[in-house]
Amino acid sequence: MLLVPCPNCGPRNSADLRYGGESHARPDPATATPQQWRGYLYLRDNPAGWLRENWYCRSGCRRWFALERNTATNEFRNPPAPGDKRGGKA
């Protein structure tokens, strides 16, 4: 079982959350090139190691948040502070 540290609810079974994938800044659609837009939509870094990713606490607080997970060990670090709006669907 993966215990995801939700900033509002505390450690939660990952079954209570929805995985939102890698957390990337969204380019400005007005100025992004098609290559940049395609990269944002489809290309992932997929590292074996630390990765910043989005999670949605669907059965708990219903908030999006971003934090780092080590994809090789499933350790988590740097969850946002409660009420901090950092992260989410950036």
Partner 1 sequence: MAESPAFESPVVRSYEFSSGGPLMLTDASPTTKWLVRGEVGGAAAERLDAPFGSSRDAGGGALVLGSRPGEWIVLGPADAVASVVAGLDGLDSSEFLTALDWTHGRALFLVTGTDAPRMLEKVCSLDWSDAMTPDGAVASASVAKVTCDIARHDDDGTPAYMIFCDRSFGQYLFDALIDAGNEFGLSVGPAGP
CB of residue 90 vs partner 1: minimum separation in angstroms?
A: 19
Task: Give the helix, strand, coil percentages of the chain, each rounded to 5.
Answer: 15, 30, 55
Residue 8 is a binding residue for Zn ion (CB under 5 A): yes
Residue 20 is a binding residue for Zn ion (CB under 5 A): no
6 binds, among Zn ion, partner 1, none (CB under 5 to 8 A by kind): Zn ion
Residue 61 is a binding residue for partner 1 (CB under 8 A): yes
Residue 88 is a binding residue for Zn ion (CB under 5 A): no
Residue 24 C-alpha from the chain's centroid? 9
Report the residue from 39, 60, 70, 71 that binds Zn ion according to the rule CB under 5 A: 60
Burial call 26-59: b when 16+ CB within 10 Å, e when fewer: eeeeeeeeeeeeeeeeeeeeeeeeebebbbbbee
Binding residues for partner 1 (CB under 8 A) = 8-9, 12-13, 15-16, 58-63, 82-83
